[in-house]
Amino acid sequence: MGHPVRPEAAARRFPGSPRSAGSARRFVGDALGGVAADLVDTAQLLVSELVTNAVLHARTDVDVGVSVCGGRVRVSVGDRRPGRGPVPHACPPYSGTGQGLALLADLASRYGVDVGDEHKTVWFELWSDGPPPPSPGWRTAVPPCRSGKTVTLVDVPRALYAASQQHRHALLRELTLAAAAGGPQVVSPGDLTVAVDTNNVISACMTAALEQPVPDPDLRSVRLRLPGDAAGAVRTLRQVLDLAEDSAREERLLTLPVLPRGRAFQDWLFDEITEQLAGGTPSAWTVVPREPEVSASDLVPWDTDQVKAGRVPTIAADEGNRIIAANGPAAELLGWDPDDLVGRKLTTLIPEHLRQRHTAAFGSMLLTGRTRIVGRSVPLPALHRDGRVVPVRLYIQIQETSDGRPVFVAQLTPRASTSIDTPRTPDRNRQAVVPEPDEVRRQAPSGHGAGTGEGDGGMSTLDRLSLLADIGAELNNTMDLDEGLQSVGRLLTRRLADWCVVDLLTGHTQVDRVCVVHRDPRGLRTAAYEGRLPPVSETSRGPLARALRGAGPLLLGGVPPPGQAESALDRDYLELFRKLGAGSAVVAPLRARREIFGALTVTRTAGGPPFTEEDLSLVDDLVHSIALGVDNVRLYQDTRNIAEQLQLSLLPALPDVENLQLAARYAASSTTAQVGGDWYDSFVVPSGDTAVVIGDVTGHNLDAAIAMSQLRSMLRGIAVDRQEPPGEVLHRLDLANHSLYREATATCIYGVVKGPPDGPWELRHSSAGHLPPLLTTWEGDTRYLEEGAGLLLGMDTDVPRRTGCNLLPPHSTLLLYTDGLVERRDESLDDALDRLRRHAAALAREPLDTFCDELLIGLGADSADDIAVLAIRPAPPP
């Protein structure tokens, strides 16, 4: 086929050395004298990539041939490893290495591979005019395997495997080229050869397996036919890669170390191969235990629109530590316009005392592949544009752009009044809603029965009652509104509709689209359709506006002309229907306590059974059940917000004491939607001494918060009025508490720091069942102050309470804390306190604000309990 090409005008054999790539470039340039410059440049680029591949993978002499016919160029590169065929795989533009075959496929007019008994030749042709004939291309050649075994890899995420494969190739390529150039030997030449060959076999088998069509292209299981004796070679490959990773972390290689997710996947891959070759059974990637920053799902593709449309404050940064996207809620939280944040360093939003540590930690993550906070909910301070500190919980996940670069997406949950403590991970598969109908308003008839969305007839009375019960249960079993509505949406799209949409009024005319769910989770990005909608105006006459005014259920069929959309809200609603291809829909108001606060839309796509009047009575029952559940969740959240505001309002401004530094932090639980009774306090008593307090009322509810507020007020009153030893003050507090709450218990430490401004200082304190204070000297020595320990408040008011006394050395740090900072499930208290001791010692000479924030970052991530911290440091004048 195609135009005739004369035999090679020039041919040369090159040794299997990295220097041959440059030599081959010059040879091709000389052989193509007189050919168009752009063809020469492309030919030189491609031949250097192919020669490099031959040197790395074939390790034989390389034959390069060049011919020209009518201005059309053909270049061939041959080696003596016919069993080592080309293994094309996707390479992002920013991968840096391993793009040879991808470049050839993109730039060559035709290309292919010829395999003989003793040789293999990869060739390409470049055409300057006219369309070339079809290219033979190539198919991945799987090495022959006589005595092979089948290895089954269950739930292999395609994107994650591709990233892992690219990283392995980059490491081995750099080791091979460095060894050939006489560089430092990271591994022995023999082990490196085995590692490269084994990696090529695995890549060829995986690439061939992944080319096979399957129902689910994103998450799949594959079967590999590998040599039965390959386990030893795979272990060698793993050892070589481990040594290479160590070198990368020590910055002795150009390739950066793999991030935790890639390292966990690679370990799983090699474990599965070696264990199954030894007779073991498969273990799916999705069920293997892993660290918090390593999720089981595939890499989440980066999507700017998803960030901008989100209702949770979200900011994204690239590997250069620059902000590349921010949504409105995040900008509003921190006092910025979203567009003003883009392009700024992430340190713009970090308090000054943490910037250096952030920069060091970010660089360490890129260089070592290790991170402390990815995939975890971490309490820390953010910096408002006006200079004040905004306490937030940070949840970071790593996503990936289409060109292969990592993106760090951070959700910021204010630690004040919010219903989301651990933001749910954005679901890359979530989808969106339905079509544009001729609107026919019909009130729900008295009949019953509904289609199932699958065209199998009416819904039975039992199925109808079951759906209503399950919807009520989903909303009753969660106190998170977003989570509950998502669960309801999944139920509706399984049993009734193809799409489900919930819109809620957040003001008199303001509407938020809070939930979009599709029957098939692999469809369009539903998050792109969520967010703030145009307001309900006087000109709004569309189906959604009418439902928000109380009309319905409304049966919608067909697509109304655009002229019927008179307002921005109407146009947005109809455009949503158009994009999602709805054939019919029902929209109904959500009403509770005689108030309309939103609307539910359920739709079926064109081509399936449409909704009918018989479905309206079911939808009417559904919206009553959903509205009641949503109203209950909202009431709970309102109550919780009141408790949180009460709790936060009672956390005091710390006193300004000469030569005595004080710092405090409070962080609500990352895993519970409840509030608790943790508190701290500090004030100056009439004698001039400084009182310090930490406490925790048993429970996580509004009652606990109220009890905490009363205890705090009573303790202040008793301490200021009596000025007695701390043990006696706590005894009086216990008596007063007993008169209010006979069955309530609480822990508390009350202490008084005494001493002149230039020292010496001492702490006199008493503890009511609370964890002991930790004293850390400037030199990093640590000691728990066990003196003054006694029973919890509310246990026995007749038992006397003791007072302990300890000296506070200059520049030492006294730490009072609640149990949420240290206690963890399945860990002894002794181990937890040892961990706190180590962290405090490492931070002994840090500024006090840094000391507190680093403790929360290091120990408060994913805490299942509230945390209160109060730190005191004597600081004599220089």
pLDDT digits (tens, 9 = 90+) for 182-208: 777 788 888 988 998 888 888 888 877
Q: Identify residue 322 by its one-letter amino acid code.
A: R
CA angle 24, 166, 241 (to 5 degrees): 100
Give the pLDDT mean for 659-686: 80
Asked if residue 802 has pLDDT above 90, the reply is yes
**What's the burial of 856, exposed, middle or buried (CB within 10 Å: 0-12/13-18/19+)?**
buried
CA angle 225, 227, 228 (to 5 degrees): 105
**What's the burial of 199, exposed, middle or buried (CB within 10 Å: 0-12/13-18/19+)?**
buried
Pick from 326-340, 661-675, 683-697: least confident:
661-675
Give the pLDDT mean for 618-645: 79
Give the pLDDT mean for 673-699: 85
- Helix, strand or coil, per DSSP, at residue 247: helix
Give the pLDDT mean for 147-157: 83
Give the model's pLDDT for residue 4. 41
Give the model's pLDDT for residue 455. 36
Give the model's pLDDT for residue 156. 83
Does an H or E element contain 172, and which? helix 158-180
Give the pLDDT mean for 160-165: 80
Closest CA to 608 of 451, 492, 459, 501: 451
Cβ proximity of 648 and 418 under 8 Å? no
Cβ proximity of 845 and 794 under 8 Å? no
**Any idea which residue has 């495997």 for tokens?**
161
Pick from 11-20, 59-68, 173-182, 539-548: least confident:
173-182
Give the model's pLDDT for residue 835. 92
Q: Which residues contact 667 (CB under 8 A, 6 or more apart)?
A: 379, 391, 393, 415, 820, 856, 860, 863, 866, 867
Q: Which residues contact 428 (CB under 8 A, 6 or more apart)?
A: 297, 298, 300, 301, 303, 525
Q: Identify residue 619 by its one-letter amino acid code.
A: V
Asked if residue 355 has pLDDT above 90, the reply is no
Asked if residue 781 has pLDDT above 90, the reply is yes
Give the model's pLDDT for residue 272. 92
**Any idea which residue has 């006979």 for tokens?**
742
Give the model's pLDDT for residue 745. 84
Q: Taking all residues of the chain, what is their mean pLDDT, rounded to a whole number?
A: 80
Asked if residue 145 has pLDDT above 60, the reply is no
- Helix, strand or coil, per DSSP, at residue 707: helix
Q: In this predicted model, which residue has the larger pLDDT, 214 or 858? A: 858
Cβ proximity of 28 and 43 under 8 Å? yes
Asked if residue 454 has pLDDT above 50, the reply is no
Q: In this predicted model, which residue has the larger pLDDT, 588 or 739? A: 588
Q: What is the pLDDT confidence band of residue 635, given thresholds at 50, 70 and 90? A: confident
* Both structure tokens of 852: 């507190």
How many residues make up the chain in this entry?
Answer: 878
Asked if residue 57 has pLDDT above 60, the reply is yes
Pick from 36-50, 664-678, 690-704: least confident:
664-678
Q: Which residues contact 10 (CB under 8 A, 6 or more apart)?
A: 27, 30, 31, 65, 66, 67
Cβ proximity of 542 and 565 under 8 Å? yes
Asked if residue 728 has pLDDT above 90, the reply is yes
Residues 156 and 266: their CA atoms lie apart, in Å, by 11
Residues 854 and 354: their CA atoms lie apart, in Å, by 9
Taking only the tens place, the pLDDT of each residue in 64-103 is: 999 988 778 899 999 988 877 777 665 554 455 556 677 7
Give the pLDDT mean for 689-712: 82
Cβ proximity of 420 and 431 under 8 Å? no
The CA dihedral of 124, 128, 129, 133, to the nearest 10 degrees, is 0
Give the pLDDT mean for 168-181: 83
φ, ψ of residue 775 to 5 degrees: the values are -105, 125
E strands, 424-505, are: 438-440, 499-505
Does an H or E element contain 661, and which? strand 660-667
Pick from 2-11, 549-558, 707-716: least confident:
2-11
Residues 477 and 484: their CA atoms lie apart, in Å, by 8
Cβ proximity of 776 and 737 under 8 Å? no
Taking only the tens place, the pLDDT of each residue in 477-534 is: 766 777 788 888 888 888 888 889 999 988 778 888 888 888 775 555 666 677 888 8
Distant-in-sequence contacts of 144-147, Cβ < 8 A, 24+ apart: 144/83, 145/225, 145/226, 145/227, 147/227, 147/228, 147/229
Taking only the tens place, the pLDDT of each residue in 225-259 is: 888 888 999 999 999 999 988 888 777 888 878 77
Pick from 145-149, 343-347, 768-772, 834-838: least confident:
145-149
Which DSSP string do the residues of 94-152 spell out, in sequence order?
GG-S--HHHHHHHH-SEEEEEE-SS-EEEEEEE-SSSPPPPP-B--PPPPP-TTEEEEE
Asked if residue 444 has pLDDT above 70, the reply is no
Q: How many CB atoms lie within 10 A of CB 226?
A: 23
Give the pLDDT mean for 781-787: 95
Predicted TM-score (pTM) of the model is: 0.59
Pick from 28-32, 161-165, 183-187, 856-860: least confident:
183-187
Give the pLDDT mean for 333-359: 89
Which DSSP string do the residues of 769-812 spell out, in sequence order?
SPPPPEEE-TTS-EEE--TTEEPPBTS-TTS----EEEEE-TT-
Q: What is the pLDDT confidence band of residue 6, given thresholds at 50, 70 and 90? A: very low
Cβ proximity of 377 and 394 under 8 Å? yes
Taking only the tens place, the pLDDT of each residue in 404-428 is: 567 888 888 876 433 333 333 333 3
Q: What is the pLDDT confidence band of residue 446, given thresholds at 50, 70 and 90? A: very low
C-alpha distances (whole Å) from 726 to each of 9, 705, 722, 729 are 99, 24, 10, 5
Cβ proximity of 179 and 189 under 8 Å? yes
Give the pLDDT mean for 638-653: 70
Q: What is the pLDDT confidence band of residue 1, given thresholds at 50, 70 and 90? A: very low
For the chain, what percent of residues have pLDDT higher than 70?
A: 81
Q: What is the pLDDT confidence band of residue 809, given thresholds at 50, 70 and 90? A: very high
* Both structure tokens of 118: 């003793």
Q: In this predicted model, which residue has the larger pLDDT, 42 or 305? A: 42
Give the model's pLDDT for residue 839. 94
Give the model's pLDDT for residue 844. 94
Give the pLDDT mean for 310-320: 83
Asked if residue 348 has pLDDT above 60, the reply is yes
Taking only the tens place, the pLDDT of each residue in 268-305 is: 999 999 999 998 998 888 777 766 555 555 555 677 77
- Helix, strand or coil, per DSSP, at residue 499: strand
3-state DSSP of 29-96: HHHCCCCCHHHHHHHHHHHHHHHHHHHHHHCCCEEEEEEEECCEEEEEEEECCCCCCCCCCCCCHHHC
